[in-house]
Chains A and B, each alone.
Chain A
Amino acid sequence: MGSKASKQDIPKWRRSTGTLLLFILPFFILLFVFKILPIFLNFYYSLFEMDLVKTTGFVGFENYKTLFNDPHFYRVIRNTFQYLLYVGPVNVVFGFLLALLLNTKLKGRIIARTAVFMPYVLMITVIGIVWRWLLDGQHGLINQILGMVGIGPINWLTQESTAMLGVAIASIWWTIGYNMIIYLAALQDIPKDLLEAASIDGAGPLRKLFSITIPLVKNTTFFVVITTVIYSMQMFGQVYVMTGGGPNYSTLSFVQYLYIKGFREFKLGYASTIGVMLFLIILVLSAIVFLLFMDRDKTKKLAKGKGDE
């Protein structure tokens, strides 16, 4: 296909204002009202003591002060990072390994792909309900299987030490297929001749993996890492259904805390403050991930001049 038209002279048809407005406005009005404006409003709300029914008044940074003295807030941050620590590495590394495995010419890999990917299309409520059952302390399948090899029984979701792990296991089952699929697409984009050439040069499989495959899927890894981080920060449905934040706050997540403060205790101003903090944390983390990948990305681009897209 003739992919790109020359840009030297811009034909008149590209500038028909009427059409432009008709095409652009409806969507961008929605985008503005539901996505952009709310971000600013959220900052604004965080400066008020606000109820669902009435707004008591402007309190300046009082909500922030309360938040920084709120032990639950630190608990929530700790929990969220604990979750990220459980889910992140597994999702990225095993997502990649799974993709590697399914990128081979094995028979039945389509079935395997289906099985691993299928949970991703289920709704989070179903995931939560199902895993509550699977992780049930007395009659859950997981404990019964562990019991056969002499482990357990573990009260997964009813003791502090394992509750978050239980939530993480459910989440991994739910999302790992997504990462796998994305890696799989990236792997399929790697030119075959590149790998063959390396083989001819005598590079072993490990060598090829580390010096060709992994560098070539770097952009994908960046994407996977950043979405994993962002989604982990936003984790909600799992704990809402599986543990309700317990036992003893050990699975209380950021968004759930926002939900409880705003919509259970009706402190909308305070909940907005939590939202602002969540936003800032995600911003910082994204920046860190971005910087981590930036550096080497540049050198790679110099060498290859080729992304994974």
Chain B
Amino acid sequence: MKKLAIFVSLIMMLTLALAGCGGGTDSAAPADGSGDAAATGTSGAGAAAADTGDAVNINLWAGFTGDDAKAMEGMVANFNEEHPDINVTFYTAPWSDMFTKFAASYGTDAGPDAIIMHATDIPNFASREMIAPLDDLTEQLGVSADDYSENIWTGNGYEGVQYGIPLDYHPMAVFKNVELFEAAGLDPEMTFETKEDFLAAAEALTNENQHGIALGAEHAHSMRYWYGLLYQAGGEFLTEDMSASAFNSPEGTEALTFLSDLIFTQKVAPELEADIDRDWLSGNVAMVIEGPWFVPTAVDSGFEFTTAPFPQIFDEAAVWAGSHTLTLPAQSNGEDREAAAITLVSWIAENSVQWGISSGQIPASYTVQQSEEYTSMDNYKYVKAFIDQAEIVHYEPLIPKTAEIGADNQLSPILNGIFSALRGDQTPQEALDTAAGEVDSILQS
């Protein structure tokens, strides 16, 4: 008992000590209500602004990880510096986590005042009345539809109502390891215009130490690759009225067969691959197909690489893409916070060049995309391959149910169908047929 008493008092002292230093390191916005002496200090956002008490505290939430998270942290820090009257706390977690927490916080004032999500998430939250229509706010936000490619702008709405301001868009491109390309006698600047081009390169890049390309066996990207190829083959993901699946068509099967053949027939991609990025960064594979967010990581890795647009395998030109979008929650946290949130969103949209440069993502705004500052940046040569694909991007369906069937949901029947085909557990046809049945029942429920 005595030992225990000593232990408990030790812990109490430790608590006090920690509470002390927690408050000391950075006295950022106390996320209200925690009620304890240990007011929270939020990491990262680096809100240096001393709490004068006048500043409006607002929260910006996103599902960024890695370089994206760092880039947005940097932007928020700049915003805070420019706006002494507003103090933004930036919070980020993996997407599904963030949405869980967004829902949890909904109705309390601890939640976000602005949220960055994917365009495909808009229908889900719009239909649940959790995010606000922006039609009346566009002017106040200082954005106009003319500044964006039409399919990107309209892709940020639901049932004809605008819910999001496009921040960026992100198709996929091939990252090539220059050293391995040269060793295989290939031109590192090459692009992949036909199926034969691509297969020849992948085969040349495969030897006993390495594979030509990473495909993954449990990575959501596998579905994104297939999604692009589905449209290249002339297929459709859902029927036109979005009420049923259409992907277990000959085109869908052809697309998936192409991928699984890379693993099992041509053997140019590793089996049961756990981590496509690590495999590429460690030279186990010569090519990986990634999004623009991967550019900073690839640059940091130190070795030489080039990018090329998503391989053209079938007849049509198509590539999967997503888009980050700025939204506002439907609930009000008071006028001051709303006004501050609008200031923040319009500032981020206006300054998205910063975002483009530090995160690698392609700014959605034409003005920003064509600005001198953007085109002259160091990484422009890498992101060019992504920008060139702007006109051929295909989003996942803009319906609420995409939350259940899209690549971001680990229970998605298609995601799992594609994994089992790429693991060799099912034939592509079987996998897609099973998935189609499940998707239909989700869409009908």
Chains A and B directly touch (beta carbon < 8 Å): yes
Contact of B129 with A53 in the complex, beta carbons under 8 Å: yes
Q: Does A215 contact B (CB under 8 A)?
A: no
Q: Does A155 contact B (CB under 8 A)?
A: yes
Closest-CB distance, B1 to chain A (whole angstroms) = 18
Contact of A247 with B404 in the complex, beta carbons under 8 Å: no
Q: Does B410 contact A (CB under 8 A)?
A: yes
Contact of B411 with A72 in the complex, beta carbons under 8 Å: yes
Q: Does A260 contact B (CB under 8 A)?
A: yes
| 8 Å CB contact of A155 from B103, B274, B420 | B274
- CB-CB under 8 A from A245, the residues of chain B are 410-411
| 8 Å CB contact of B272 from A54, A159, A252, A263 | A159
Interface residues of B in 311-351 (CB under 8 A from A): none
| 8 Å CB contact of B404 from A54, A158, A246, A265 | A265
Interface residues of B in 79-109 (CB under 8 A from A): 96, 99-100, 103-104, 106-107
Q: Does B403 contact A (CB under 8 A)?
A: yes
Complex Cα distance, B9 from A154, in Å, reads 48
Q: Does B396 contact A (CB under 8 A)?
A: no
Interface residues of A in 186-220 (CB under 8 A from B): none
- CB-CB under 8 A from A54, the residues of chain B are 128-129
Residue of A nearest to B100 (CB): A263
Contact of B416 with A248 in the complex, beta carbons under 8 Å: yes
Q: Does B217 contact A (CB under 8 A)?
A: yes
Q: Does B68 contact A (CB under 8 A)?
A: no
Contact of B106 with A248 in the complex, beta carbons under 8 Å: no
Contact of A248 with B99 in the complex, beta carbons under 8 Å: no
Closest-CB distance, A201 to chain B (whole angstroms) = 44
Closest-CB distance, A272 to chain B (whole angstroms) = 16
Q: Does B419 contact A (CB under 8 A)?
A: yes
Interface residues of A in 33-60 (CB under 8 A from B): 51-54
Closest-CB distance, B169 to chain A (whole angstroms) = 25
SS class of chain A's interface: helix, strand, loop or mixed? loop
- CB-CB under 8 A from A155, the residues of chain B are 272, 274
Contact of A158 with B438 in the complex, beta carbons under 8 Å: no
Q: Does A297 contact B (CB under 8 A)?
A: no
- The 8 A CB mask of B398-411 against A (1 = contact, 0 = none) is 00000110000111
Q: Does A103 contact B (CB under 8 A)?
A: no
Q: Does A64 contact B (CB under 8 A)?
A: no
| 8 Å CB contact of B103 from A52, A160, A249 | A52
Q: Does B423 contact A (CB under 8 A)?
A: yes
Residue of A nearest to B403 (CB): A265
Q: Does A244 contact B (CB under 8 A)?
A: yes
- The 8 A CB mask of A60-94 against B (1 = contact, 0 = none) is 00000010010110000000000000000000000
Complex Cα distance, B125 from A51, in Å, reads 11
Closest-CB distance, A185 to chain B (whole angstroms) = 20
| 8 Å CB contact of B218 from A66, A71, A138, A246 | A246
Contact of B420 with A264 in the complex, beta carbons under 8 Å: no
- CB-CB under 8 A from A137, the residues of chain B are 272, 274
Contact of A248 with B419 in the complex, beta carbons under 8 Å: yes
Contact of B403 with A247 in the complex, beta carbons under 8 Å: no
- CB-CB under 8 A from B100, the residues of chain A are 263-264
- CB-CB under 8 A from B419, the residues of chain A are 246-248
Q: Does B52 contact A (CB under 8 A)?
A: no
User: CB within 8 Å of A: which residues of B?
Assistant: 96, 99-100, 103-104, 106-107, 128-130, 217-218, 272, 274, 403-404, 409-411, 416, 419-420, 423, 425, 438, 441, 445
Given known contacts A137-B274, A263-B100, what 13 new A-B pairs fall within 8 Å (CB)? Answer: A53-B129, A66-B445, A158-B423, A160-B420, A244-B410, A245-B410, A246-B218, A246-B416, A248-B423, A260-B411, A264-B99, A266-B103, A266-B128
